[in-house]
Amino acid sequence: MSLLKAWRAAIVHCIADPKEVGIENAYEYFADGLLVTENDKIHAIGHADKLLPKLPKDIEIEHHPDGIITPGFIDTHIHYPQTDMIGSYGEQLLTWLNTYTFPEESKFSDKQHAREVAERFLAELLRNGTTTALVFGTVHKVSVEAFFEACEVQNLRMICGKVMMDRNAPDYLTDTPETSYEDSKALIDAWHNKGRLHYAITPRFAPTSSDEQLQLAGKLLGEYEDVYLHTHLSENKDECAWVQELFPQSRHYLDVYDQHQLLSERSVFAHGIHLCDHEYHRLHETGSAIAFCPTSNLFIGSGLFRLSEAEKQQVNVGLGTDVGGGTSFSMLQTMNEAYKVIQLQNENLNPIKSLYLATLGGAKALRLEDKIGNLAVGTEADFIILDKKATPLLTSRLALSKNIEETLFVFMTIGDDRAIKATYSAGQCVHQR
Ligand code: GUN
Ligand code: ZN
């Protein structure tokens, strides 16, 4: 039976990349809008006064006079097993991994622990309005099983993978090329494209994989048409120097992955801070994407992502939190820090561009733009309701806002989980404040 439901509020969503069509043509805004869903899909979107007369008289309508509906946020890089180590003090990447990350990740050999953290992690994402994420598990197969099982209960569109890591990490956290290949393959067969779930082949980063393991990761990527490849790239200067030592044959960092056939339209590389022209060019040529993770890049002192350079070289970019290197689950706070990273390079990040990166741009980076990322009719009903009166400061500041761009910018500057009134996934409410 088909079931129509409607929400009345302001609505804003991106319909194109501002870089391609200009800011004005990149979004649609309805000051008094109506979003109509039919079961799990968007059925109609438009001005309330135009749509209301066309709807059945008995349709259920939720009215949010202080609400703004946007698509659910898309986080293109996050580690669910690092939920409980967010805010770990004082180190940069390589020491941070050894001191905090590896001991924390060892706990995920226990499926019960993994399940408990996965549930809290998903609750945190949804509280922050994030409806899709590209997620690292740990080296343990059970960590990914626990994650997917938790996602399935709420019918979330999520992507995850088991870490492949066979060297330069503690023995308790390493696999072998063969077991990583077998475990990843079994997980793909069991979970990839099951409902709304997808699998990402996940070598941690070049330093923790042997040539043999990377080669098997590439083989696996070639064996399936539409699985993802998810890893880290060129985040920290010491890391980059180490990669050159470990792989003297490679021309640059990305070349290590390139030589193992790991670049593809479904490959997502977190960070990509210290890249040369040739690396941008290969990312563009292969349709690969970068996940820009500003809170992490600042917190662990990695550097400033060059968004305008990536754009100039036509590389797909999404936005990521990178928790627990990142300091917030909130994509609003991630946009706040992105703005500052760009400011430090004497440029401005337009709020519509930020919204694009957090929604449709992320969907495009993940090749899911036919399903999620905006509120086009026929796409999946993953959306959120922002509350203009969520806090006293939002209330007073937004009372002075002159237009939707300014309103969005204020949400992106002082907003966080409190600003998310409700989150919907496939038409179902999965969070209510
Ligand atoms: N590089 C390799 N592993 C990690 C990780 O867990 N977090 C971050 N930020 N970078 C990494
Ligand atoms: Zn990461």
State the first-to-last Cα distance of the chain, in angstroms, to the nearest integer.
29
Share the mean pLDDT of the chain: 98
Residue 87 has pLDDT above 90, yes or no: yes
pTM: 0.98
Helices then strands, counting H and E runs in the chain, come out as 18, 16
Mutate to test the pocket of ligand 1, among 204, 292, 334 (most ligand atoms within 8 A of CB): 204
**pLDDT value, residue 358:** 99
| % of the chain at pLDDT higher than 70 | 100
Q: CATH classification of 4-71+374-432 is 2.30.40.10, yes or no?
A: yes
pLDDT in tens, 164-189: 999 999 999 999 999 999 999 999 99
**pLDDT value, residue 402:** 98
Mutate to test the pocket of ligand 1, among 76, 77, 78, 79 (most ligand atoms within 8 A of CB): 79
Residues of the chain with CATH 2.30.40.10: 4-71+374-432
239 alpha carbon, closest ligand: 1
Please state, in angstroms and as integers, the Cα–Cα distance from residue 422 to each residue in 26, 71, 152, 357, 425, following that order: 25, 12, 20, 21, 10
Q: Provide the 3-class DSSP secondary structure of residue 64.
A: strand
Extract the tokens encoding 242: 């180490």
* Cβ < 6 A, ligand 1 pocket: 79, 93, 97, 101, 204-205, 232, 235, 296, 322, 325
219 pLDDT band, cuts 50/70/90, is very high
- Residue 208, CB half-sphere, CA atoms under 13 Å: how many? 23
Please list all protein residues whose beta carbon sits less than 5 angstroms from ligand 2, which is an ion. 270, 322
Kindly report the protein residue whose alpha carbon is nearest to atom 8 of ligand 1: 325
pLDDT in tens, 107-142: 999 999 999 999 999 999 999 999 999 999 999 999
CA of 261 to the centre of ligand 2 (A): 21
Rounded to whole angstroms, the maximal C-alpha distance in the chain is 70
pLDDT in tens, 390-428: 999 999 999 999 999 999 999 999 999 999 999 999 999
CA of 353 to the centre of ligand 1 (A): 26
pLDDT in tens, 305-343: 999 999 999 999 999 999 999 999 999 999 999 999 999
Residues of the chain with CATH 3.20.20.140: 73-329
User: 73-329 adopts what CATH topology?
Assistant: TIM Barrel (3.20.20)
The number of the ligand 1 atom at minimal distance from the alpha carbon of 235 is 10
Mutate to test the pocket of ligand 1, among 86, 97, 256 (most ligand atoms within 8 A of CB): 97
13 pLDDT band, cuts 50/70/90, is very high
| Rounded Cα gap, residues 412 and 410, in angstroms | 5
Kindly report the protein residue whose alpha carbon is nearest to atom 11 of ligand 1: 232
2 pLDDT band, cuts 50/70/90, is confident
Q: Interior CA angle at 242 toward 240 and 248, to 5°? A: 95
359 pLDDT band, cuts 50/70/90, is very high
Q: Provide the 3-class DSSP secondary structure of residue 185.
A: helix
Residue 372 DSSP symbol: S
430 pLDDT band, cuts 50/70/90, is very high
Q: 291 with 268: CB under 8 angstroms?
A: yes
